[in-house]
A and B are shown apart, each in its own frame.
Chain A
Amino acid sequence: MTRVLITGGAKGLGQACVRTALTDGCHVTVLDADANGLTQLPAGVSAIYADLADAAELRSAINRLSASEPFDIVIMNAGINATGPFETLPVERQAKLIAVNLTAPMALTTALIQADKIARDGRLVFVSSLSHFVSYPGASTYAGTKDGLTIFARSLRRPLRRSLGIRVQVVAPGPMDTDHATEHSPSPDDRRARVAPAFVADAIWRNRSGFLIVPGMAANGVSILGRLLPGVAGRIMRRMIFEKLQVRTPVQDTHSAREQSSLHALHPDQFLTEEP
């Protein structure tokens, strides 16, 4: 039976991945900081509780994983966001964001590889963000963590393929229709313009070989714009996100495991591409 590990699997995109994996007949392990969410997982799913921002809990999660059977698919999905003008966001919140979004997936990867817990021909998938291509003023630290994670994956790609036969992949979703995504959006009424997490989960499932997965035609168009005209993309993001966030009052933060880019004006579609 295919064994799957999903971090942040209690809600949002992680939860959608859990469902897709179960439909495919896999055995699923979920690691999450949402104790309540973990009790509501479908039957047969193994749960590991850990707040990845906590160094001691990260270590106990690593110990649990090191004692388990190897995984065929690992999805590093857990991530949090904090939006607002950088200087007004409490710095401890940003440090926590770095711990969860960047330090934890790199530490978990290190531990899994060293304990030989990713099967040969297995997949190691990192959930990044469309912000990698267009920047994300109004979530500067978040944008940094997602770029860091993407380049970590890029750096591992060849060595892990050669030495261990593991396929490293990055998924860069645009805005998704997850429960709390609206918290980070400058205009919370735009849910229809977002892709369903199940659509992104399906894209991850079907795309077994390419390095970069950008689900949906809108997200693809945005990623191409960002690559061809980074300056223009940055200015658009500033206008669409940052300037609107500046007028919104209190600072927001969430602990769940999902993506919250806010390219809300664009319309998602059913396509999927990978880097050549």
Chain B
Amino acid sequence: MKRQTANRLLRTYLVTGASSGIGLAVVKQLCAQGHRVIGTGRRSGTSLPVDYPDIDYRAVDLTEAAAIERFIDDQIVGLDRAILCAGAGFYRGIEEECVSDVEHIVSINFTAQIRLAHGLYGKLAARHGRLGLVGSVAHKRAAAMPVYAATKAALDGFGRALALEWQDRVAVRVLHPGPTRTGMAERAGRPADWLTKLMLPPHAVADMVIDGLEADRGYRRTISYGRYLARLPLRAVR
């Protein structure tokens, strides 16, 4: 990981969902590459894993509009990249869904991203920055989690249109990971089974998220198992 530090620009990144899973793996990777990282998660700084990297971490509940505004105003000065990983879902069909959870999932997976994109625009545009939205392969449909799938499709459609709007100012990329071994699936209510072992490792997904954000063209990238396997020899060589 460190090998790239020398020939890469050092940048300032904002990472949401930085307290767990993919976001945490992204933070670790970026730190190892020497970038400056501002991270947010819902939990307080004291509940982070013991080996948490030494970064500027803030607890922000992204379902609260005022908290987002305050955070951007107070904490973000210069910004080159934003990688929005925070998200949640419930693994359940519509028969088991409930209205307040529908509101909550839309709020964290979609409305919060709109608020962040809106609030960060000026800072990113000032540095010809890039905005990465972490979606999910569920954006195409997911019978077992229709509300989650809808929010990820909404994020994809938003990113597609915004990439066209901002094309010469801020690059927008939507990165759709396949099932990743972060524990999110279990938290979403999907029992762990043999498939869990086959899920993508978070560090590999983090790699592909960071690289995918730098892609020259195409607003969307799917972080699939195939892409992961294709990169394995590359990793070995590096």
Please give the residue numbers on chain A whose beta carbons come within 8 Å of chain B beta carbons, in ascending order: 55, 58-59, 62, 85-87, 91-92, 94-95, 98, 102-103, 106-107, 109-111, 113-114, 131-132, 135-141, 143-152, 154-156, 158-160, 163, 234-235, 237-238, 242
Given A135-B160, A137-B161, A152 and B99 touching (CB < 8 A)?
no
Q: Is B98 interfacial (CB-CB < 8 Å)? A: yes
Nearest Cβ in chain B — how far from A152, in angstroms?
4
Q: Is B65 interfacial (CB-CB < 8 Å)? A: yes
Q: Is B215 interfacial (CB-CB < 8 Å)? A: no
Most chain A CB within 10 A, of B111, B147, B154, is at B154
Cβ–Cβ contact B114 & A98, under 8 A? yes
Task: Report A-chain residues with C-beta under 8 Å of the C-beta of B115.
Answer: 91, 95
Cβ–Cβ contact B161 & A148, under 8 A? no
Nearest Cβ in chain B — how far from A147, in angstroms?
3
Cβ–Cβ contact B146 & A144, under 8 A? no
Cβ–Cβ contact A148 & B150, under 8 A? yes
Please give the residue numbers on chain B whose beta carbons come within 8 Å of chain A beta carbons, in ascending order: 65, 93-95, 97-99, 102-103, 106, 110-111, 114-115, 117-119, 121-122, 139-143, 145-147, 149-162, 164-167
Seed contacts A131-B157, A147-B156; 15 additional CB < 8 Å A-B pairs: A86-B162, A91-B118, A92-B65, A95-B114, A95-B115, A102-B106, A103-B102, A106-B106, A148-B150, A152-B149, A155-B142, A155-B146, A155-B150, A159-B143, A234-B160
Given A114-B95, A151-B153, A242 and B106 touching (CB < 8 A)?
no
Given A91-B118, A91-B119, A148 and B95 touching (CB < 8 A)?
no
Give 6 CB contacts A-B under 8 Å. A102-B110, A106-B106, A140-B161, A144-B158, A148-B154, A154-B149
Task: Report B-chain residues with C-beta under 8 Å of the C-beta of A159.
Answer: 93-94, 143, 146
